[in-house]
Amino acid sequence: MALAATVLLNGLTLAALYFVVASGFSLIFGLMRTVNMAHGALYLVGAYVAYAVFEPLYDRDAWYAWYLAVPVGMAAAGLAGIALQGVLLGWMQGQELRQALVTIGVSIVVADQLLAQFGGTPRQFFAPDALFGTTPLPLVGRYPTFRLVQIAVALGVGIGLWWLLARTKLGLMVRAGVDDRAMLAACGVNVPLVSLAVFGLGAALAGLGGVIGATAQPLAQGVDGRFLLTSLVVVIVGGMGSVPGTAVGAVLVGLAEQVGQALFPTYAVILTFALMVAVLAVRPQGLLGRSA
């Protein structure tokens, strides 16, 4: 019983991390129809740049090292995202295959540059003392505090995105753009500027995921591909471009991974993809997606 509860909680906390990363991916796709294959690279950029700021501060025992790393990671990834959209993707709007190929190219270049800069040694952020250690919970006993923080961050991101999309003028423009870009432009809205803002936001979420993710798991070469793949599975299951869909997808994928690990570790990965196959077979647009 305690084990089942722990596994369930593990699934939810992992889902929280996946949601933070995939929500940015989904947001970008929703407005721009860009399948951003460089999303994993943005995760890496956020995490590595934040690490470069974090490490010297941590060495000096500065209590704020980790708290500072979070906005730095978001800013770094956000700026990288804006540059990506502004310099490369902006002028090939609507050419989806071309954008996908360009972003794959960018992700390879970025990963190799980071390898050259930071080397292959795995890195890891150390959660500040307030977030490290365990918290007693009913049923599961002592549970890693940082994993609970992941849930709090994901809730914050989810509520923030909902507020942004449903309650602000930018959100209004984004939602209008999802339905009809041309009409939105005709109404006098500077769509390229809105695109830049959305891309920057989506990338910043990847950066946030990078710092949170690299605190929970090591940061190393190759995690970009893993998080890109996970993001793809999450949004395919949940529905492309839908924030609630991303949340549902993340929960299902996170639970599938952890339950699989507890029951049949060697074949756990199959469960994730079986989930995706099932959703694609029954509801190709994703659980909460709209049909094209």
Partner 1 sequence: MTPTLTRRQALAGAGSLTLAGTFPAPAIAQNAPIKLGGLTTLEGPFATGGQDAYRCVQMELERINHTAGGRRIEFIRESSNARADVALARARKLVEQDGVDIVLGPLSGAEGIALKDYSATLTGKTIVNGSSAAADTTLRNPSKNFFRFSTDGTQWMAGVGNYVRKTLNIPEVCVVAGDYAFPYAQVFGFSLEYCRAGGKATYLWSPLGTTDYASQIAQIPKSAGALVVVHGGTDGLAFMTQYAQAGGSLPIIGGSIMADQTMMSARGPHRKLMTGMVSGGPIADVNDDPNWNEFVARYRKRWANEGGFQSPSIHGVNYTTNLQGILGALEEVRGDLSGDQQAFQAALAKRRFKNPMGAEVSLDHNRQAVSDIFLTKIEEREGKPVTVAFARAAQINQTLGVPEAQFLALGAPSRNNTGCIVAG
Q: Which residues of 155-187 are buried (b: 16+ CB within 10 A; e: fewer)?
A: eebbeebeebbeeeeeeebbebbbeebeebeee
Q: Which of 28, 50, 89, 223 binds partner 1 (CB under 8 A)?
A: 223
Answer whether 288's CB lies under 8 Å from 248's CB.
yes
For residue 136, the tally of other CB atoms under 10 A from its CB is 8
Among 3, 182, 281, 292, binds partner 1 (CB under 8 A): 3
Decide: is 224 part of the binding site for partner 1 (CB under 8 A): no
Q: Give yes or no for residue 134 binding partner 1 (CB under 8 A).
A: yes
Place of tokens 């970008």: 28
279 binds partner 1 (CB under 8 A): no
119 or 156: CB nearest partner 1: 119
Can you tell me the distance from the alpha carbon of 12 to that of 14, in angstroms, rounded to the nearest whole number?
Answer: 5
Nearer to partner 1, 49 or 148 (CB): 148
Q: Which stretch binds partner 1 (CB under 8 A): 42-50, 63-71, 98-106, 143-151?
A: 143-151
Residue 80 CB, nearest distance to partner 1 (Å)? 22
Cβ neighbors of 71 (< 8 A, separation 6 or more) are none
Q: Which stretch binds partner 1 (CB under 8 A): 32-40, 140-148, 166-174, 187-195?
A: 140-148
Within residues 16-75, the interface with partner 1 by CB under 8 A covers none
Q: Tell me how far, at minimum, the Cβ of 13 lies from partner 1, in Å.
A: 7
Per the CB < 8 A criterion, the answer to whether 238 and 275 are in contact is no
Tell me which of 93, 113, 217, 285 binds partner 1, using CB under 8 A. Answer: 217
- 122 counts as binding partner 1 under rule CB under 8 A: yes
Orientation of helix 191-216 relative to helix 223-238, angle to 10°? 120
Upper half-sphere CA count for residue 67 (Cβ side, 13 Å): 8
Cβ atoms 206, 43 nearer than 8 A = yes
CB of 36 to partner 1, least distance (A): 22
83, 93, 123, 244: residue in contact with partner 1 (rule CB under 8 A):
123
| Segment holding 142, helix H or strand E | strand 141-144
CA 175-192-91 angle, 5° bins: 125
Per CB under 8 A, 13 contacts partner 1: yes
Among 63, 126, 163, 273, binds partner 1 (CB under 8 A): 126
**Rounded Cα distance, 172 and 232, in Å:** 26
Least Å distance, CB 268 to partner 1, is: 7
Which residue lies nearer to partner 1 by CB, 105 or 122? 122
Q: Binding marks (x or -) toward partner 1, 187..216, rule CB under 8 A?
A: -----------------------------x
**Cα–Cα distance list, 49 to 64, 80, 263, 269 (Å):** 16, 11, 37, 30
Task: Supply the minimum distance, in Å, between the C-beta of residue 159 and partner 1.
Answer: 25
* Sole residue written with tokens 């071309």: 98
User: What does the binding site for partner 1 look like in residue numbers (CB under 8 A)?
Assistant: 3, 6-7, 10, 13-14, 115, 119-124, 126-127, 132-134, 142-147, 216-218, 220-223, 226, 257-259, 261-262, 265-266, 268-269
